[in-house]
Amino acid sequence: MDEVGEEAAWHGVRPGLLTMRRLVLALWLGPLVLAAAVIPAVLGAPVWSLPALAPLLLGAWGWRALGRNFRSWRYQERDDDLLISRGVLWRQLTVVPYGRMQLVEVTSGPLDRKFDLARLQLHTAAAASDATIPGLEPAEAERLRDRLTALGEARSAGL
pTM above 0.85, yes or no: no
Note the residue count of the chain: 159
**Contact (Cβ atoms closer than 8 angstroms) between residue 90 and residue 106:** no
Digitized pLDDT (tens) for each residue of the chain, 159 residues in all:
444 545 679 999 999 999 999 999 999 999 988 888 888 888 888 888 888 788 889 999 999 999 999 999 999 999 889 999 999 999 999 999 888 888 899 999 999 999 999 999 998 877 777 789 999 999 999 999 999 999 888 876 444
**CB contact set of 83 (below 8 Å; sequence gap of 6+):** 4, 5, 75, 76, 93, 94, 95, 96
CA atoms of 84 and 12, how far apart (whole Å): 10
- For 74-157, the fitting CATH number among 1.10.287.3510, 1.10.287.130, 2.30.29.30, 1.10.3720.10 is 2.30.29.30
In one letter, which amino acid is 148? L
